[in-house]
Structure 1
């Protein structure tokens, strides 16, 4: 497991770094190698925050916790990651895994609002290329929940068509499927 630890507003501590690495070893029983983990430990006045981003085999899980003690924050965030991974594994048991690794790459572009309002040439603020993996609708919803995103673009593994799943304001989920005429 590759663990990157970042300290914000505090001195680097080998004890905290080792403690976080030791606690993150527990997640290996839920997910296969290779695993990369990014740990952010932050202190703001009396708040001690631990944030972990875990990436393994196409799955990304994020969690954050804050307490009055950094060790307790690390314990809480690792417990949260374990719960998410346990739930993810239980959901995967009901689905058959994707057999092939066909993935598409799509470029995401963000434009400034001023350029759209004034009918000028759009100004690109940020551009990002993302990989779209084939998965079922249920897997896409699960992945969207794990990433704490409002929408997810994916390729439907049965139809091989790009779809979008999104979280509605009423708490339910919506699915956008293109129609071919």
Structure 2
């Protein structure tokens, strides 16, 4: 597994690179398809977070979807510890979802749960399909507000890594193929309620289960995708009760 550590206007000493390799090497047991980790260090440009201004972003790439985590703290060592902990938790959750159970322990798929919900069996429904979500739930759960962590600057937050394949020593590595546009207008980033960034990425048809899988990997509270069965633009999101919801445009 390759580990690349780089700094954005930050000098990375050799002992820190060794520390990063020791931290990330323990994650290989969760997903051996991850063959490369990119670790980026930079000073947080947001003035509101000046007290915790050292940020670390980790992106794991391999033959499957990318996995990401980031954290900020008073120093790069503490930020790395937080980011690695987030990454480990996400990989562990995905690893547990892939386990095969038999008999009564077999978990219901999201598709089965949706069918159960449509048939009126709420006891077995793990996912709620919403045609008109309640505004109070949206605000309460926070599934569509701020979860993508898009921010000003040159960061890569919110990338869902749907797109092109990279041919080379790393095999088939999925990298982001998307376009960012800064919104025109006042450059004062402290003014609230403004659209400060627009993002476009190619839509890949996938099932609800696959969308949940990729949402867990990138650590978002929602994931936008095109439903492979219906072709309808849809969103899966995390609810406060540790289950999921699906919003479909009809």
TM-score norm. by structure 1 comes to 0.64
Number of equivalenced pairs? 157
2-structure distance, mates of 1:71, 1:112: 32
Find the residue that maps to 2:38 and give its secondary structure.
strand
For the pair 1:138 / 2:209, whether they are aligned, the reply is: yes
Structure 2 residue aligned with 1:152: 224
Could you tell me how far 1:55 is from its partner in structure 2?
Answer: 1.9
Structure 2's unaligned 5+ residue stretches are: 45-49, 100-106, 110-162, 165-176, 185-197
Structure in which a larger fraction of residues adopt strand: 1
Contact kept, 8 Å, 1:144 with 1:152, in 2: the verdict is no
Contact kept, 8 Å, 2:178 with 2:202, in 1: the verdict is yes
Are the structure 2 counterparts of residues 127 and 68 from structure 1 closer, same or farther at C-alpha, using a change threshold of 3 Å? Answer: closer
36-45 vs 5-14, greater mean Cα deviation: 36-45
Find the residue that maps to 1:59 and give its secondary structure.
coil
Are the structure 2 counterparts of residues 130 and 37 from structure 1 closer, same or farther at C-alpha, using a change threshold of 3 Å? Answer: farther
Structure 1's unaligned 5+ residue stretches are: 97-103, 115-125
Root-mean-square deviation over aligned CA pairs: 4.0
Structure 1 residue aligned with 2:4: 4
2-structure distance, mates of 1:58, 1:48: 29
Find the residue that maps to 2:66 and give its secondary structure.
strand
Deviation track 1:133-152 (CA, whole Å, cap 9, x = no partner) reads 654x1231231243227433
Find the residue that maps to 1:39 and give its secondary structure.
strand
Contact kept, 8 Å, 2:57 with 2:68, in 1: the verdict is yes
Structure 2 residue aligned with 1:23: 23
Are the structure 2 counterparts of residues 72 and 38 from structure 1 closer, same or farther at C-alpha, using a change threshold of 3 Å? Answer: same
Structure 1 residue aligned with 2:35: 35
